[in-house]
Structure 1
Amino acid sequence: MPQTGAAVWAAADLTTADWMVPVGTEEAAELEAALTAAQAAAPVPALTRLAPILADVTTRLDTGRGFCLLRGLPFDRHGAAAAEAALLALGTHLGSPLNGTQPVVHRLTGPAPAGSTVRSGLPLFHIEACDAIALLCLANGPEAPPHVLVSAGAVHNEVMRRDRAALAELYEPAPLIENGETVPRAVFTLTEGAFAARYTRHAVEQASSTPQPGAPPLAAGLRPAFDLLDKVCAEPSLMLKLELRSGDLLLFNPHLVWKLRTLVETDAEAPEAAQEFRRLRITMQHSRRTVAEPG
C-alpha cells in the first residue's frame, strides 16, 4: 500500500510556510537570556516561552512533514559553548538527548573531505538510532552546498510505482553492521500502523563482504532494489534543498525524512571551520524506532 499523510511530500509540493516555524521577539529574547547565562557558566533558565513552539515542533516531526526549521533565534551570537548548552536545554523539551560514550552535542564541520560523505560511491544519509536530529548552524559560507532532504514515504511510493517486487525486497530484513554487530534490518517497516524507514546500504554491503558463520546469503534481488532506491532518492523532484544561515536550527525525524550528509564529525579541539554545525540526537516518548524495531 502507498504511504500517505503530511510526511509524504515532494520538493515541488512544499512552500516555505510548510517547514518554517515562526519565532517571535519574546521567544528570541528568552533564548538570548539562556545563551547569556550559559556563556557566564550560570544555569540555563527554563525556556517557558519557547515551550509551546517546541511542542509544535514535536508534532511536526512525528505526524507532520517530518522536519522543520527555526530561524531568528540568536544561537550564533554567544560562542559555541553557550550554543551547545542552550541546544541541550532546548532538546530536553523534545525528548531525551542521546550520548552513549560520546559527548551529548557533536561538532560537525565542512567542507567535508572527498569521500567522507559517500561510501562505495554511494551518498550517505543521516540514518541514526534516534527519533529526532537537531542540526544547529553556527557558520555557513555562501560556497557551502545545500542541505538536501527527501521524504522516505515519497521514495517508498515511487519505488512501488516503478517495481513492486523491488519494494517487497526492501521490506525484508537483511543482515547489516550496526554498532559493530551484525543485525537484521529492513529498509521499510510498518508495525501497528507506524511507518519507519532506515536506509543503510553501506552497512548491508559491509556485512555481506564479511559474512558471519551461518548467516544467510544476501537476497539476489536486494542489490537491484537498492540500485532503484538510490536512483529514486536522486530524483530532483523529490529533493528539497535548504540553504542554512548562521543561527538556523534544522530538526528532522530520520525515520520519515532522510538527509544527505554534507558534513563530517570533528574533534572539539580542531581549528574552526568554514562550516560549523552542532548535532543533537534525541529519543522521544512515542518512538517509531521502538515500535517498528523491537529488540
Structure 2
Amino acid sequence: MPQTGPAVWAAGDLTAADWMVPVGTEEAAELEAALTAAHAAAPVPALTRLAPILADVTTRLDTGRGFCLLRGLPFDRHGAAAAEAALLALGMELGKPLNGQAPAVSRLIGLPLTEAGTRSGPPRFHTEACDAIALLCMTNGPEAPPHVLVSAGAVHNEIMRSDRAALAELYEPAPLIEEGEPVLRAVFTVTGGAFAARYTRHAVEEAARMPQPGAPPLPVGLRPAFDLLDKVCAEPALMLRIEPRPGDLMLFNPHLVWKLRTLVEAAPDAPEAAQEFRRLRITMAHSRRTVAEPG
C-alpha cells in the first residue's frame, strides 16, 4: 500500500511555512535566561513558555511533516557550553535524551570541502536509533553545503510505482552490523499501522563482508533494490535543501525523514570549524523504533 499523510512530501510540495517554527520574544527571553544560568553553572530553569511550542514540535515529528526548524532562539549568544546545557534541557522537554557511555550532546563539524566534493558511493543518512535528532547550528559559513532532507514515505511510494519486486525486498529483514553488533532489520516496516524506515546500506554491506555464524545470506535482489532506492533518493524533486543559520534548531524524525550526512563528529577540544553543530538524540513516548534499544 502507498504511504499517505503529511510526512509523505516532495520538496516542491512545501514552503518554509510548512516547516519553520518562529519563536516569539517572550519564549526567546526564557531561553536567554536558561542560557545565562547555564553560563553561570547555575540550574537551568524550567522552560514553561516554550512548552507549548515543544508540544507542537512533538506532534510535527510524530504525525506531521516529520521535521521542523526553530528560528529565533538565542542559542548562539553565550558560548558552546551554555548552548549545550540549554539544548539538553530543551530535549528533556521532548523526551529522554540518549547518552549511553558518552555525553548526550555531541559536537559535529562539516566535512572538509575537498572530502565533501569528492565523496562517492551510496548516500549516507542519519540512522541513529532514536525518535528525534536535534541539530543546533552554532556556525555555518556561506561555503557550507545545504542540509538535504527526503521523505522516506515519498521514496517508498516512488519505488512502489517503478518496481514492486524491489519494494518487497526492502520490506524483508536483512543482517547488518549496528554499533558492532549483528541485528536483522528491514528498510521499511509497518507495525500497528505505523510506518517506519531506516536505511543503513553501509551496515548491511559490512555484515555481508563479515558474515556472522548462522546469519542468513544477503538476499540476491537486495543490492539492486538498494541501487534503485539510492537513485530515488537523489531525485531533485524529492530533495529539500535547507540552509540553517546560527542559532537555528533543526529537528527530524529519522524514521520518517532521512537527512544526508554532511557532518562528522569531532572532539570537544578540536579546533574551531567553519561549520559547527551540536547533536542531541531523543527517545519519545510514541516511538516508531523497530528494534528495542538499551535504556
Q: Aligning the two structures, in what range does the TM-score lie when normalised by the shorter sequence? A: over 0.9
Q: Report deviation, 1:217.
A: 1.4
Partners of 2:190 and 2:117 lie apart in 1 by 29
CA distance in 1, matches of 2:143, 2:90: 29
- The normalised TM-score by structure 2 is 0.96
1:162 aligns with 2:162: yes
1:286 equivalent in structure 2: 286
Structure 1 stretch 178-187 or stretch 120-129: which is displaced more? 120-129
* Residue of structure 2 in register with 1:251 after alignment: 251
Contact 1:118/1:124, CA 8 A, preserved across alignment: no
Residue deviations 1:81-129 (CA, integer Å, cap 9, x gap): 0000000000011000000111110000123476589987222100110
* TM-superposed deviation, 1:214: 2.3
Q: For residues 83 and 68 of structure 1, do their structure 2 counterparts lie closer, same or farther at Cα, with a shift above 3 Å needed?
A: same
Q: Which residue of 2 aligns with 1:41?
A: 41
Post-superposition Cα deviations, 1:6-25, rounded to whole Å, max 9, x if no partner, equal 00000000011100012100
Give me the whole-angstrom Cα distance separating, in 2, the residues matched to 1:70 and 1:222: 38
More moved, 175-184 vs 3-12 = 175-184
Q: Write the deviation string for residues 52-107 of structure 1: whole angstroms up to 9, x where unpaired.
A: 00000000000000000000110000000000000000001100000011111000
CA offsets, 1:157-213, max 9 Å, x none?
000000000000000000000111111110000011010000000000000011112
Matches within 5 A, 1:133-152: 133-152=133-152
**How far is 1:238 from its partner?**
0.2
- CA deviations over 1:245-268 (Å, ceiling 9, x no partner): 000000000000000000100000
Aligned residue for 1:190, secondary structure, equals: strand
> Aligned AA for 2:86?
A
Q: Equivalences for 1:21-40 in 2 at 5 Å?
A: 21-40=21-40
Deviations 1:219-265 (A, max 9, x none): 11000000000000000000000011000000000000000000100
**2:229 matched to 1:229?**
yes
Matches within 5 A, 1:62-211: 62-112=62-112, 121-211=121-211
User: 2: CA distance between counterparts of 1:204 and 1:135?
Assistant: 26
Indicate conservation of the 8 Å contact 1:117/1:262, yes or no.
no
Q: Which runs of 5+ in 1 are unaligned?
A: none
Instruction: Mark the runs of 5 or more structure 2 residues left unpaired by the alignment.
Output: none
Report the count of equivalent residues.
293
CA displacement, residues 144-165 of structure 1 (integer Å, 9 cap, x when unaligned):
0000000000000000000000
Cα distance in 1, alignment partners of residues 254 and 213 from structure 2? 32
Distance 2:291 2:136 in 1: 28
**Offset, 1:294:** 5.3
Contact 1:117 1:264 in 2 (8 A): no
* Map of 2:13 onto structure 1: 13
- Amino acid in the other structure paired with 1:232: V
For 2:80 and 2:102, locate their aligned partners in 1 and report how far apart those are by CA, in whole Å. Answer: 18
Distance 1:117 1:221, change over 3 A: farther
Amino acid at match of 2:255: H
Question: RMSD of aligned C-alpha atoms?
Answer: 1.5
2-structure distance, mates of 1:117, 1:85 = 34
Query: 1:119–1:202: 8 Å Cα contact kept in structure 2?
Result: no
The 3-state SS of whatever aligns with 2:75 is: coil
Identity of aligned residues (%): 82
